[in-house]
Amino acid sequence: MDKQFYVYIMTGAKHSALYTGVTSNLKGRAWQHKEKLVESFIKKYHIDMLVYCEAGGDATGAIS
């Protein structure tokens, strides 16, 4: 089975900022956001709510 990649968009409770990312482990990545394990922009703006995700066959496809 081939690895699945996801493009995702997350926001915080105030909806004041959006974060777009690509990952092969969407569940794990969302958990990292919720637990504030990622520094910088994500932690500063409390980005922890998944609002959109779409699967792609590879990282390049997910990004485009």
Running DSSP on this structure, what letter comes out for residue 63? H
pLDDT band at 33 (very low <50, low <70, confident <90, very high): confident
Instruction: Report the share of the chain in percent with pLDDT over 70.
Output: 98
Return the H-helix or E-strand segment holding 6: strand 5-11
Let me know: does 55 contact 47? Beta carbons within 8 Å: no
Q: When comparing pLDDT for 40 and 10, which is higher?
A: 10
Residue written as token pair 């792609």: 56
Ordered DSSP codes for 8-61: EEEE-TT---EEEEEES-HHHHHHHHHTT-S-THHHHTT--EEEEEEEESSHHH
